[in-house]
Amino acid sequence: MTNGSNEKLDRRGFMIGSMATVGGAATLLATSTQAQTATTSASTTATATKGTVFTGDVIDGKRVISALDVSDLEPGKKHSFYFQGVGMPTGQHWYVAVMVAKGASPGKRLGLISGVHGDEMSPIHMIQSVMNALDPAAMSGTVIAVFDVSRPAVESMARRWPNSGRGIDLIDINRLFPGNENAPDAPTRHAGLVFNRLLKPNLDYGLDFHTAATGMDATAFHLARMDLPEVRVMAELYPIDQIFDNAAYPGLLANALIDAGIPALTPEIGRPRILDHEMIGLFVEGTMNVIKHHGILSGPMGRTGKDSGVLVADAMFPVIATHGGFVELLVELNQAVKAGQKLAIQRNTFGEIVAEYTAPRDGEIGARRTDATAEPGTPILFALFDSATPSGGDVIVE
Ligand SMILES: [Zn+2]
């Protein structure tokens, strides 16, 4: 989830990320310690698969790589690595945990991604569960898991990357993809490294798992481009509540993958900061369905969106706090609401009612605030509705 003020910051971050210059490339060439990375610094060539690059380092028993090419890994096995991301201010690197389940036979390559936002825990556990369930000896194809893309954000269980270039700036890395290895800021470079050296060369399909943002709860849902048939078929394989059919922001990882020819979507596993095991189970079931759909594993399908009666909607209305104060919500997740229905009451510190919120139209609640207070401008509810004229997505959830 995000709101208007976040979006202003996000756009600023995006502009900073777009200011890459030729000089940046020269700097990278001058400072790179590896001939191979130096010669692939241009974004046009970095995506070519040139083999997995081992730095020679081993951390906690895991070999460190600076580029992944799953085609040169031993088949029928699981492989675990630390991917060397962008450098830290103190000179070491942010390492990202990567696991590859490479089937005994060739086939489709599916990417499972989490930790793009650092306060979203259920996705990490969901992917761990899927990877544990996979037997590479029985697989035709490859599943690539990237657990903690925004590593410093995960370390502090925060949505955004704490960039220290100008004093701490909190950067939403899910507005920066496909990134830029020569950008004048570390998170955009990190996004570029992950995109160019881990994801783009190795994926045929991508699933970037998220949750609601801190302070909000959400249903089991997807943010997905349902106009794209290969995205739609994956989205519909999950036994979840809701699908928001919307393109969202240009810098979203799922959109950058789509732009690179890799069908992708953004599944959302409920509430941030916790492990929601019931909801995790739904997404494990759906992800195993996707793996079977692509022929990586054989076996019967689990439950899908048909079984859960998933709501597919192309529009969303937010209920935005007009005042500061304590919010009492009168509706639950997945509840159908009618135009004019009272949704929430807000009181000041004296207990006096300062605002009452009603539904501007019919809809079904997709997300609700969990923090008890809200200041003016904070979204306290989102509801999905289907519209012949989609709203264009001025309010987005991921
Ligand atoms: Zn997120």
265 and 335 belong to one structural domain? no
Residue with structure tokens 């799922």? 254
Q: Residue 1 C-alpha to ligand 1 middle, in angstroms?
A: 7
93 and 156 belong to one structural domain? yes
pLDDT, position 48: 52
State the virtual CA torsion across 317, 320, 326, 328 in degrees, nearest 10: -20
211 and 139 belong to one structural domain? yes
pLDDT, position 387: 83
122 and 257 belong to one structural domain? yes
The residue type at 107:
G
Contact assessment for residue 285 and residue 308, using Cβ atoms and an 8 Å cutoff:
no
Answer whether residue 340 is part of any domain: yes
Q: Residue 300 C-alpha to ligand 1 middle, in angstroms?
A: 31
- Exposure of 207 by Cβ count < 10 A (0-12 exposed, 13-18 middle, 19+ buried)? buried
Q: Residue 60 C-alpha to ligand 1 middle, in angstroms?
A: 28
Q: Is 10 in a helix, a strand, or coil?
A: helix
- Report the run of H or E that residue 183 belongs to, with start and end: none
Single out the residue in 308, 335, 353 at which a domain terminates.
Answer: 308
Q: DSSP strand E in 175-324: where?
A: 205-208, 216-218, 220-224, 242-245, 264-269, 311-313, 315-320
Domains identified in the chain, total number: 2
Q: Is 82 in a helix, a strand, or coil?
A: strand
Contact assessment for residue 182 and residue 24, using Cβ atoms and an 8 Å cutoff:
yes
Q: Residue 85 C-alpha to ligand 1 middle, in angstroms?
A: 20
Q: Residue 396 C-alpha to ligand 1 middle, in angstroms?
A: 11
Q: Residue 214 C-alpha to ligand 1 middle, in angstroms?
A: 10
Q: Residue 88 and residue 15: Cα distance in Å, rounded? A: 22
pLDDT, position 53: 98
pLDDT, position 397: 63
- Residue 366 has a CB neighbour count (10 Å cut-off) of 27
Q: Residue 123 C-alpha to ligand 1 middle, in angstroms?
A: 10
Give the CA distances from residue 228 to residues 204, 235, 258, in Å, rounded to whole numbers and listed in that order.
Answer: 15, 11, 9
pLDDT, position 173: 98
Answer whether residue 149 is part of any domain: yes
Answer whether residue 281 is part of any domain: yes
Single out the residue in 267, 291, 308 at which a domain terminates.
Answer: 308
Over the range 227-265, which residues count as b (16 or more CB within 10 Å of their CB) and which as e? ebebbbebbbbbbbbbbbbbbbbebbbbbbbbebebbbb
Q: Residue 269 C-alpha to ligand 1 middle, in angstroms?
A: 10
Which residues of the chain have a pLDDT value below 50?
1-47, 391-393
Strands 336-337 and 315-320: unpaired
140 and 242 belong to one structural domain? yes
Q: Residue 240 C-alpha to ligand 1 middle, in angstroms?
A: 18
321 and 256 belong to one structural domain? no
Q: Residue 285 C-alpha to ligand 1 middle, in angstroms?
A: 21
Q: Residue 125 C-alpha to ligand 1 middle, in angstroms?
A: 15
Q: Residue 160 C-alpha to ligand 1 middle, in angstroms?
A: 9
What is the model's pTM?
A: 0.87
Q: Residue 209 C-alpha to ligand 1 middle, in angstroms?
A: 7
Q: Residue 116 C-alpha to ligand 1 middle, in angstroms?
A: 7
Q: Residue 213 C-alpha to ligand 1 middle, in angstroms?
A: 6
Contact assessment for residue 293 and residue 234, using Cβ atoms and an 8 Å cutoff:
yes
374 lies in which domain range? 315-385
The residue type at 222:
H
Q: Residue 250 C-alpha to ligand 1 middle, in angstroms?
A: 15
Answer whether residue 397 is part of any domain: no
39 and 124 belong to one structural domain? yes
Give the CA distances from residue 117 to residues 84, 136, 268, 377, in Å, rounded to whole numbers and listed in that order.
Answer: 18, 29, 12, 22
Q: DSSP strand E in 140-185: where?
A: 140-146, 161-163, 169-171
Q: Residue 92 C-alpha to ligand 1 middle, in angstroms?
A: 26
222 and 355 belong to one structural domain? no
207 and 333 belong to one structural domain? no
Single out the residue in 255, 279, 308 at which a domain terminates.
Answer: 308
Answer whether residue 59 is part of any domain: yes
Q: Residue 398 C-alpha to ligand 1 middle, in angstroms?
A: 5
CATH number at residue 323: 2.40.50.100
Answer whether residue 285 is part of any domain: yes
CATH number at residue 59: 3.40.630.10
256 and 338 belong to one structural domain? no
Give the CA distances from residue 119 to residues 149, 195, 252, 397, in Å, rounded to whole numbers and listed in that order.
Answer: 12, 21, 17, 15
Radius of gyration, alpha carbons of the chain: 21
Closest to 281 measured CA to CA, from 129, 134, 131: 129
Q: Residue 295 and residue 360: Cα distance in Å, rounded? A: 45
Q: Residue 230 C-alpha to ligand 1 middle, in angstroms?
A: 22
Contact assessment for residue 248 and residue 230, using Cβ atoms and an 8 Å cutoff:
no
Q: Residue 297 C-alpha to ligand 1 middle, in angstroms?
A: 28
119 and 255 belong to one structural domain? yes
Q: Residue 266 C-alpha to ligand 1 middle, in angstroms?
A: 9
Q: Residue 264 C-alpha to ligand 1 middle, in angstroms?
A: 15
Q: Residue 194 C-alpha to ligand 1 middle, in angstroms?
A: 17
Answer whether residue 95 is part of any domain: yes
Q: Residue 383 C-alpha to ligand 1 middle, in angstroms?
A: 18
Q: Residue 268 C-alpha to ligand 1 middle, in angstroms?
A: 8
Q: Residue 140 C-alpha to ligand 1 middle, in angstroms?
A: 31
Closest to 145 measured CA to CA, from 199, 222, 197: 199
Strands 242-245 and 311-313: parallel
Answer whether residue 390 is part of any domain: no
Q: Residue 117 C-alpha to ligand 1 middle, in angstroms?
A: 5
196 and 232 belong to one structural domain? yes
Q: Residue 126 and residue 217: Cα distance in Å, rounded? A: 17
pLDDT, position 165: 87
pLDDT, position 49: 58
Q: Residue 279 and residue 268: Cα distance in Å, rounded? A: 10
